[in-house]
Amino acid sequence: MTSSRCSWTGVFPAVTTQFKDDGHFTLDLDATARVIEGLIRDGVSGLIICGTVGEGCSLTAAEKRSVYEMAKSVAKKRVPVIGGVAEYTTPFAIETARAAEKIGLDGVMVMPALVYSAKPFETVAHYRAVGQAVSLPIMVYNNPPIYKIDVTPQMLADLADVETIVCFKESSGDTRRFIDLQALTGDRFTLFAGLDDVVLESIAVGAQGWVSGLSNVFPREGETLFRLAMQGRFAEAMAIYRWFMPLLHLDARPDLVQCIKLCEAIAGRGSALTRPPRLALPQAEAAEIRVMMEKAMATRPSLPEVGLARAA
């Protein structure tokens, strides 16, 4: 089996999309640009834009294109920029992926077709069609707990002949998937952890990257944790992992977007505002997260040297 052409590695936060508190939830490109610049400044390895955490499904096609263009402009080739593609139909997904390609993004992260509960052969056909329609490298995004469609290792193996499909983001929480996929396809696909609270386990069994929610809030801690694990320094990584875990669990909740944005707001990195149908967390839940964040900020671990550039 041929090796993947994908060179992505490290922490790729699933960047939040910012909105104006104007009663209309107008897209705030300037605020989103500040979020992106802050993440790059703090040393992340790449960016996922308009993904689940970026509320991609709540944006119009024109808004997505504007976020794509802005992110490319802000990144200035310092890190790869991957555009989320999560559409209702295969033709819509192709249209969005082609827009990302035309704008010049570094790749796309493609969801199964949403709303319709596709059978496995239909999901494979969806990915094959998108993969054949663009030349951009594609990350397949599997998140069956949230989106109810499961992209199994066998389905990925069936797509191994599609050259543009180079990466697999696994958010089921079942780290055995990485081993099963490697048994079927060798090193054909670059593997990414997609669920924050199993990232260390995912790296231990072959993940080379991490699409992270809570690294929006603590990017230096996330990148250091990842690099320690990749360097086999698991004892040092565990000290950070234990500190981080209460917050990492938020990434596994159905309301992860609201949780992450609230944490971002508390940390001074963005706004908690989400676009309906996502609504603000109930007061009791928000209060619990505020307590968690206060504890996390008061007990931030000292970070071992991993080659991460010093904070600006």
- Number of neighbouring beta carbons within 10 Å of residue 287: 11
pLDDT for position 308: 93
Element spanning 245, H or E: helix 234-248
pLDDT for position 2: 37
| Residue 69 maps to a domain | yes
Q: What is the largest CA-CA distance in the chain?
A: 53
Residue 185: which CATH number?
Answer: 3.20.20.70
Helix (H, G, I), strand (E, B) or coil at 138: strand
What torsion do the CA atoms of 53, 26, 113, 211 make, to the nearest 10 degrees? -20
Tokens 């989106």 belong to 147
| Residue 188 maps to a domain | yes
| Residue 198 maps to a domain | yes
4 pLDDT higher than 70: no
Residues, the chain: 312
pLDDT for position 78: 97
In angstroms, how far is CA 261 from the centroid of its own chain?
A: 14
| Residue 72 maps to a domain | yes
Check: CB of residue 209 under 8 Å from CB of residue 192.
yes
| Cα–Cα dist 13/146, whole Å | 18
Average pLDDT over the chain, rounded to an integer: 96
With b meaning 16 or more CB within 10 Å and e meaning fewer, what string describes 2-36? Answer: eebebebbbbbbbbbbbbeeeeebebbbebbbebb
| Residue 33 maps to a domain | yes
| Residue 309 maps to a domain | no
Tokens of 42: 């703090």
CA neighbor of 72 nearest in space, from 25, 32, 123 = 32
- Number of neighbouring beta carbons within 10 Å of residue 242: 10
| Residue 75 maps to a domain | yes
Q: Which domain holds residue 151?
A: 10-298
pLDDT for position 109: 98
Mean pLDDT (whole number) for 273-297 = 98
pLDDT, tens digit, 9 for 90 and up, residues 111-130: 999 888 999 999 999 999 99
pLDDT, tens digit, 9 for 90 and up, residues 6-56: 899 999 999 999 999 999 999 999 999 999 999 999 999 999 999 999 999
| Residue 308 maps to a domain | no
227 pLDDT higher than 50: yes
Task: Give the CA radius of gyration of the chain.
Answer: 18
Domains in the chain, number = 1
Mean pLDDT (whole number) for 180-208 = 97
pLDDT for position 1: 33
